Chain A
Amino acid sequence: MELVLAALSGFLVAAGAYLMMSGQLVRFLFGLVLLSNAANVVIFAAGRLTYANPPFVPDGAKIPDPSVANALPQALILTAIVIGFGLLAFALALAFRAYQSLGTVVMDDMRACDPPEIPTSTEKPSA
């Protein structure tokens, strides 16, 4: 089943990247969400899958049963999800603000900080 998830993560990555390169704010945000989901799936699959046996120490025992799922990638993904959300929220705030200030959702037109065309450097350095 890990291989299926590998294929899924590949597809999510490809879809996310394609959307992010579209140059439109909303599609970019959608792509970002897909990409962070894909990253979590990658970590999850790489840590191996265990069906229906969560990593808890049962009452009366000192250590979990050896057959429980790998706890480590779960801990990694849990924080990654929250961080991914923080990133998305920030990107959304930026996107919204950019739209308000610049009046466009086409990313290539958002160049208030870049000069319209960088002039070719023709200055001749003197000795």
Chain B
Amino acid sequence: MPRLLTFLPAVVMAAVFLWFAQVLGPVAAGNIPEWSWMWVEGLGIELAFRLDGLSLIFALMVSGIGAIIFLYTSVYFKGHEKLTRLLTLLALFAISMLGLVTADDAITLFVFWEGTTVTSFLLVGFDHEKQKARDAALQALIVTGVGGLALMAGLILIGFEAGTFRLSEIALLGDTLATSALYIPIVILVLLGAFTKSAQFPFHFWLPGAMAAPTPVSAYLHSATMVKAGVYLVARMSPALGGTELWIWGLTLFGAVTMVWASVLALKQTDLKLMLAYTTVMALGALMMFLGGDSKYATVGVATFLVVHAMYKAALFLTVGLLDKGAGTREVTNLGGLARSMPITMMIALLAGLSMAGFPPFLGFIGKELKYEGALAVMSEPLFVATAALLANAMMVAAAGLVAISPFWGKTPKSPKPAKDPSIGLWIGPMMLALMGLGFGLFPDLLAKYIVNPTVTSIAPGTAYVKLKLWHGINVPLVLSLITFGLGFVLYQGRFVIRAALNRPTFGGIPAAVVFDAGLASFKRFASWSARTVQGGKMTVYLRISFAVLTILIWGVHLISTDSLVPQPEAIALIPLVVVLLIAASAFVVLITNSRLFGLCALGVVGAGIALIFTFYSAIDVAITQILVEMLVVIILAVALVKLPAMPVERNFRAGDALIATAFGVGVAFVVVAVLAHPFDPRITEFYEAASLPDAFGRNVVNVILVDFRALDTLGEVAVVLIAAIAAVAALTAGKIRKSGEKP
């Protein structure tokens, strides 16, 4: 790929971003664009898109950060042989993500949701020659894939209960869903989808694993966009599903636990990228918690924090990439004193880090203040939520210090290779993100008008306009902020002690990732055991299992069915009865004989006898066919059987097989009895009889059915005969035939 062409995705993404940006005005004014095409008409599924405030905020993040990431990737992987592949996958992901956040149809949303899962799998496993990358990719796929299935079930239930798959219509239903009988399963399924995607406890473990992906990918998918899909989903469903105890408590509890636990784990890391991954999990937990908050402030907090977090986190991830590239490592313990050799990188890290820690005048400060306001406004348990938020935020301050200050602090430079700032193509993107954090902090009204308020309106319709301000006067959130800074500073100073304590092997019990791996391993063992048992390569075992399952199915239906098994009494004709007995006797001979010739002859008698039965009971064409086929069967068996070795004498009576066979046979006989107990419905036959001559000009009704009324079936059947012939000829002639007894 020509070098210049690698920048094309970045340009396209920037154009998409600008297009979304020019919709901001109309959307803020309440003109919401919509598009839809009928997709599956019978099920009422549409390919529908709608750009309300919530969709727009995500679309802007996906396209805006996307443009920066694409540029960064093209420079970061300059000349890399798989750059084209990486850019293609990222573009596919961006398309899926844009589709996800703009979809207005539940099924459309789900399809794009799965699109992000698949592209994430491919991107995490990008370095597929590494075992670690493959394992991480598989883990992410299994966790988010299972969640996706749960989500699909939930969305379908919603569609059935709501009578529509249009999300904008579902949002207007009020508490129709909350009062439906299926509400609890719906909430559980939807939250399962959201929690797995957004790495909520106890599914949080896949996200740090996913850091096996290239750094730009982690910055894009696993901090700014994809992992927020769960947050988007919960926000999108809030109007229809929210407001109940289950919803509020589910989100608050899981969000809070995730938030605190992830912050603790973040402090434990020395790899900067992993540390950022855990702070991302923390941020996602906070977002979930506030979505359960059910108050105006909480919702505003969510909308603001979404933007704040996307900016500083993507910037920090990219900074880690700069450090990796410029200084040769991302291990925080191997970095220090780089302020002079990497001044630009330090600038970016500092700007983004201060926003993350929530210092004024950065947007992060407003975000944090709003979080505290939201926490205090949570009706159910303000103290619990506020304490959790305080703890997590303090640890966030410490983590921000570790990422933004620690590598640059100190007199003596410490890095594995001589450090210097990377080229402008790499740092321009993160710099823009970091500066935006400052810009929006200084002019919060822009953000409030165009982004936060339209979003809040989509999540919680009817909310009054909210103003964002840096200075609120001296109030409880400000006091909490000060406590946060103090606590954070203490934690940062004590970082070595804390890390050592957290890294003691006894800490934290059994990590979820270990449980997942153990589960996967035992599942594999089970699969291997069942494959060995069921498919051990023994033909007789296959047959026994097949027959036994069929038998169980037939008898299951018999036992469940309440139909009468008493058929009409009927006359028994003597001659046909004799023929039937003859057939049975011949079949018995086939069963017990040890001679091929005897068996062949008896088989011929069975066939001929059945042809006689057909003759007695008016099936002339069938009888002729049966006789002719019986002749051919005997001919081909005779041709081949004489060359096969004599049948081994069967001495043992196989009791188990006999049991299966008898149960199977009796079951089939009772199927016929059950059919006979039902009154006969002759309508189809009567139609064919009436139409045979007038419409198809044939007097032989059987033949007319075969070649005219049901000719399509017949066409299929002769095709099968031809295929069987081709396969038989191929089996007999293809390849070199080995001599018998020769080792293969």
Give me the interface of A with B, judged by CB distance under 8 Å: 1-15, 17-27, 29-30, 33-34, 37-38, 40-42, 44-46, 48-59, 61-64, 68-72, 74-75, 77-79, 81-90, 92-97, 99-103, 105-108, 110-115, 118, 120-121, 124-127
Contact = CB atoms under 8 A, between A and B. Distances in A.
Nearest to A85: B629
A52 B616 CA distance: 6
Given A38-B668, A44-B619, A96-B643, A1 B572 contact: yes
Interface string B326-356: 0000000000000000000000000000000
A14 B664 contact: yes
Contact of B520 (A2, A18, A30, A125): A125
A107 to B, nearest CB: 4
Contacts of B524: 121, 125
Given A15-B590, A55-B689, A96-B640, A108 B672 contact: no
B181 interface: no
B509 interface: no
A22 B654 contact: yes
B706 A78 contact: yes
B610 to A, nearest CB: 6
Nearest to B139: A127
Contacts of A72: 684-685, 688, 705
A64 to B, nearest CB: 5
Interface stretch (B162-170, B496-504, B579-587): B579-587
Nearest to B730: A93
6 contacts: A1-B572, A71-B689, A74-B619, A89-B725, A110-B539, A127-B517
Contact of B665 (A13, A44, A74, A126): A13
Interface of B: 131-132, 135, 139, 209, 513-514, 517, 520-521, 524-525, 528, 531-532, 536-540, 543-544, 547, 567, 570-573, 576-577, 580, 583-584, 587-588, 590-591, 596, 599, 603, 606-607, 610, 613-614, 616-622, 625-626, 629, 632-633, 636-637, 640-641, 643-645, 647-648, 650, 654, 657-658, 660-662, 664-673, 675-676, 680, 682, 684-685, 688-690, 692-694, 698-702, 705-706, 710, 713-714, 717, 720-721, 724-725, 727-729, 731-732, 737-738, 740-742, 744
Given A6-B676, A46-B675, A125-B521, 9 more contacts: A1-B617, A12-B665, A17-B657, A21-B540, A64-B701, A71-B701, A78-B702, A96-B640, A105-B644
Contacts of A44: 613-614, 617, 619, 622
Nearest to A10: B669
A2 B717 contact: no
Contact of B537 (A11, A20, A105, A111): A111
Given A62-B693, A88-B633, A49 B672 contact: no
A17 B540 CA distance: 11
B705 to A, nearest CB: 4
A82 B591 contact: no
Contacts of A15: 587-588, 590-591, 661, 665
B682 to A, nearest CB: 7
B458 to A, nearest CB: 39
Contacts of A75: 702, 705-706, 710
A61 to B, nearest CB: 8
Contacts of A12: 583, 587, 606, 665
Given A1-B572, A48-B680, A78-B702, A126 B668 contact: no
A57 B692 contact: yes
A101 B654 contact: no
Contacts of A113: 537
Contact of A57 (B135, B514, B661, B701): B701
A48 B132 CA distance: 66
A2 B625 contact: no
Contacts of B607: 33, 37
Given A5-B580, A46-B672, A127-B209, A74 B724 contact: no
A24 B599 CA distance: 14
Nearest to A23: B540
B673 A120 contact: no
A78 B643 contact: no
**Residue among A19, A54, A62, A100 with max Cβ neighbours from chain B (10 Å):** A54
Contact of A121 (B528, B596, B710): B528
A46 B689 CA distance: 19
Contacts of A9: 668-669, 672
B45 to A, nearest CB: 37
B538 A54 contact: no
A125 B525 CA distance: 11
B539 A23 contact: yes
Nearest to A97: B731
Nearest to B531: A118
B701 A114 contact: no
Contacts of B692: 57, 63-64
Contacts of B658: 18
A78 B700 CA distance: 13
A8 B544 CA distance: 22
Given A71-B701, A107-B540, A89 B664 contact: no
A18 B710 CA distance: 35
Nearest to A56: B699
B301 to A, nearest CB: 35
Given A22-B650, A127-B135, A101 B737 contact: yes
A126 B731 CA distance: 44
B540 A63 contact: no
A1 B579 CA distance: 12
A7 B702 contact: no
B203 to A, nearest CB: 15
Specify which of A9, A23, A106 lies most central, judged by the most chain B CB atoms within 10 Å of its CB. Answer: A23
A15 B607 CA distance: 15
A23 B531 CA distance: 20
The listed residue with most B CB atoms (<10 A of its CB), out of A9, A10, A52, is A10
A82 to B, nearest CB: 6
A33 B540 CA distance: 18
A113 to B, nearest CB: 8
A10 B666 contact: yes
Contact of B633 (A26, A33, A42): A33
B520 A19 contact: no
Contacts of B637: 29, 92
B728 A45 contact: no
Contacts of A62: 693-694
Contacts of B737: 97, 100-101
B27 to A, nearest CB: 44
